[in-house]
Amino acid sequence: MRAPGRWQVATVTAIKRETPRVKSFRFRLPMWMPHLPGQHYDVRLTAPDGYRAQRSYSIASSPLDEGEIELTVDRLDDGEISTYFHDVLEEGDQVELRGPFASYFVWRGESPVLLVGGGSGVVPLMCILRHRRRIMPEVPMRLVYSVREAADVIYADELGAEATLTFTREPPAGWTGHRGRIDEALIGAAAAGTGGGLAFVCGSNGFVESAARLLLDAGFPAAAIRTERFGPTG
Amino acid sequence: MSGFISRGFRGRRRTPEELADRLPPGQYYEPGFPVLTAGPTPDVATDTWTFRIDGMVAEPREWTWAELHELPLEQVPCDIHCVTKWSKLGTSFSGVSLDVLLEAAEPLGAYAMAHSHGGYTTNLAIEDLTGGRAWLATEHEGEPLPREHGGPARLLVPHLYFWKSAKWVAGLRVMDHDEPGFWEANGYHNRGDPWREERYWSD
């Protein structure tokens, strides 16, 4: 049975540590259905006294992984779901999920595509990139990925030639690539590499604001820039 | 419904007790004011700004920024609920009641499509825009509404999930039938009552 939107009890099949504060969790779903890259699932936790908490997490895995999804979760010190995921959840545990949801920040095979991610904003972008590698490797796609330092790079072993990294705080020893925040040169070079098309931007609000501004300046029409923002604005 | 318990989950971000009954199901208490927008933030200048009500109305009406400020400004203390799960409790906006604006145009249809600079749309029943439940807000907590929160003016419909409170709103098109706006066409509920947890199409 397939049922988008109905709560189902999923089982954790694998946990991978990506960085000191980020882990990826693979779930087997009894009512799995294929998602569009960029969609999210809702997670619900229930305490013994009935107290419940819900959050949304982007899907990281390709919809070709039948029956399973991967969620990549950044541990926020004051978060209650992310700390549960990181500190409590083990393989074999069960979690209530429902999805996949939302159909705007999604890739439907458009070409070319420029992905711009800050921090854990790379998660839905990696979903798009992974899916493209498996079904349409000929689609021009570039990823610009901004992180603070080497230890913060999520999916480090999967970032191939289509990814351009920049380190805003401390680049790794011997780094000759970009450093500092994303700028006109970085976005311009990546945009030239894909040749227009659609841009997907995900990260904190501040990151998305500046990336969207740079994309507009690089000639992307506003309607070709899809954004997803997270976190408080301070 | 289900008797499912999350192993080892106790909950640590519980709402302050005095606020607990103001939090709809599935929402959590957020002291900040997060920003959620589907695209770049538009820059809307007040000297060219207008708000227009047209479509199925007795008389299409349009207000400039100066004309809007001749109308009574109401203070609106409210709680706001975002479909992404956060709720901001005990905040306040100031704006002109939609009752005043709609009365001037006299809607002949029961539905409206709000449309914004930047292309965003959201659909609302006239019933949800009247009766002292909706405003054209120009201030937040006593300050001009910041651009990232929809300034210079946004809809404020606090009894529905906050995507209905269209940022950078440019006008309302009154219709004799309902049709989905931007998020309503992209998987989110047509009405969005947070107390009924109307988040997605399937809810």
- Domain with B191 in it: what CATH number? 3.90.420.10
pLDDT in tens, A187-223: 999 998 888 899 999 999 899 999 999 999 999 999 9
Q: For chain B, what is the domain count?
A: 1
pLDDT in tens, A135-146: 999 999 999 999
Nearest CA among A149, A123, A130, A129 for reference residue A202: A123
Q: Which of A1, A6, A58, A88 is best to mutate for the B interface (most B CBs within 10 A)?
A: A88
Residue B16 domain-assigned (yes or no): no
Q: Which of B6, B15, B116 is best to mutate for the A interface (most A CBs within 10 A)?
A: B6
pLDDT in tens, B42-96: 889 999 999 999 999 999 999 999 999 999 999 999 999 999 899 999 999 999 9
* pLDDT score for A1: 47
CB contact under 8 A, B200 and A101: yes
pLDDT (average), residues A22-38: 96
Task: Find the CB nearest B34 among A3, A104, A232.
Answer: A232
In angstroms, what separates the C-alpha of B98 from chain A's closest C-alpha? 29
- What gap in Å lies between CA B72 and CA B41, rounded to an integer? 28
φ and ψ at residue A151, rounded to 5 degrees: -70, -15
Name the pLDDT band for A229 (thresholds 50, 70, 90).
confident
User: What percentage of chain B exceeds 90 in pLDDT?
Assistant: 82
Residue B64: domain span: 54-196
pLDDT (average), residues B142-164: 96
pLDDT in tens, A56-104: 999 999 999 999 999 999 998 888 899 999 999 999 999 999 999 988 9
Residue B97 domain-assigned (yes or no): yes
* pLDDT score for A70: 98
CB contact under 8 A, B39 and A223: yes
> Comparing A8-101 with A113-230, is the CATH topology the same?
no
What tokens appear for A163 in the block?
């990814």
CATH number corresponding to A113-230: 3.40.50.80
User: Structural domain boundaries of chain A?
Assistant: 8-101, 113-230
Q: What is the ipTM, given to two decimal places?
A: 0.86
* pLDDT score for B87: 93
In angstroms, what separates the C-alpha of B99 from chain A's closest C-alpha? 32
Residue B18 domain-assigned (yes or no): no
Residues 6+ apart with CB under 8 A from A149: A167, A169, A170, A171, A172
In angstroms, what separates the C-alpha of A10 from chain B's closest C-alpha? 11
- What gap in Å lies between CA B23 and CA B88, rounded to an integer? 9
pTM of this structure: 0.88
Residue A232 in this model has a pLDDT that exceeds 60: no
- What gap in Å lies between CA A166 and CA A203, rounded to an integer? 14
Following DSSP, what letter does each residue of B118-165 receive, concatenated?
A: TS-EEEEEHHHHSSS--EEEEEETTEEPPGGGTTT-EEE-TTS-GGGS
**Closest-CA residue in chain B for A204?**
B35
Residue B42 domain-assigned (yes or no): no
- What gap in Å lies between CA B92 and CA B119, rounded to an integer? 26
CATH of A8-101, picked from 2.40.30.10, 3.40.190.10, 2.60.120.920, 3.90.1640.10, is: 2.40.30.10
* pLDDT score for B2: 64
pLDDT (average), residues A156-179: 94
